[in-house]
């Protein structure tokens, strides 16, 4: 507790100095310090450019190219939710424990709360919003509806992205492989049996 207090008390200038060096350091230290700049007092409704950071990254999200400024410690999920308004991706633990923030990068399921926006530079990111093509549901989404693989739905975007990543790499997973691939996604409503069924169903639908 004590130590954390001290961390918090580092002055703004000190912090900006550190951030300016571009050393990402440990996310856990920086997380309590991020975005320490004050909003411009004259017009608080319009935050200044630098409010969002001064490092430019370029990435593709759901097929759309974005050029945005971020802080050294902005996480990918913050970039997606707060800057790009893609709120389908959820923050549950912000700790790499639950899979609620799962997105897909290079065919891999990634916890977006544990990836710095900087590290997503040049990457091609798919989020839950990217699965829908116009009005048409992706087969994985359809399977989750058909097999009722959800209750409250808060874990669902993460579950679907994990399933999507699994099926990209392994179109014909065994029950055990499904279990393992989905083990990183917590569902407190515990729709697990139906989630497993949904993933198996999605594999079937995709093959058909």
Cα–Cα distance list, 61 to 15, 76, 85, 157 (Å) = 30, 11, 12, 16
Taking CB under 6 A as the criterion, the residue among 30, 187, 202, 203 binding ligand FES is 187
Taking CB under 6 A as the criterion, the residue among 84, 110, 116, 150 binding ligand FES is 150
Give 18 or 184: the residue with its C-beta nearer to other proteins: 184
Taking CB under 6 A as the criterion, the residue among 60, 153, 177, 205 binding ligand FES is 153
Cβ atoms 89, 114 nearer than 8 A: no
Give 99 or 120: the residue with its C-beta nearer to other proteins: 99
Give 72 or 198: the residue with its C-beta nearer to ligand FES: 198
Taking CB under 6 A as the criterion, the residue among 15, 94, 123, 206 binding ligand FES is 94
Cβ atoms 115, 200 nearer than 8 A: no
Q: Which does 111 bind (CB under 5 to 8 A by kind): ligand FES, other proteins, none?
A: ligand FES
Q: Does 193 bind ligand FES (CB under 6 A)?
A: no
Q: Which does 54 bind (CB under 5 to 8 A by kind): ligand FES, other proteins, none?
A: none
Give 113 or 167: the residue with its C-beta nearer to ligand FES: 113
Buried b (16+ CB within 10 A) or exposed e, 53-65: bbbebebebbeee
Pairwise CA distance, residues 114 & 94, whole Å: 7
Pairwise CA distance, residues 68 & 79, whole Å: 9
3-class DSSP state of 159: helix
């Amino acid at each position: 507790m004590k130590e954390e207090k001290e961390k918090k008390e580092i002055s703004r200038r000190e912090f900006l100095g550190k951030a300016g060096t571009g050393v990402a350091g440990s996310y856990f230290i920086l997380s309590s310090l991020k975005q320490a700049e004050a909003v411009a007092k004259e017009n608080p409704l319009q935050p200044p450019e630098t409010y969002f950071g001064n490092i430019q990254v370029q990435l593709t999200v759901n097929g759309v190219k974005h050029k945005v400024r971020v802080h050294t410690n902005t996480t990918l999920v913050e970039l997606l939710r707060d800057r790009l308004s893609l709120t389908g991706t959820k923050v549950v633990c912000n700790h790499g424990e639950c899979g609620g923030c799962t997105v897909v990068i290079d065919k891999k399921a990634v916890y977006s709360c544990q990836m710095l926006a900087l590290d997503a530079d040049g990457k091609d990111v798919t989020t839950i919003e990217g699965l829908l093509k116009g009005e048409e549901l992706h087969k994985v989404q359809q399977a989750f509806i058909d097999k009722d693989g959800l209750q409250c739905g808060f874990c669902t975007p993460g579950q679907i992205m994990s399933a999507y990543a699994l099926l990209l790499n392994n179109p014909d997973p065994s029950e055990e492989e499904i279990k393992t691939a989905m083990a990183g996604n917590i569902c407190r409503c515990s729709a697990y049996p139906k989630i497993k069924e949904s993933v198996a169903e999605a594999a079937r639908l995709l093959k058909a």
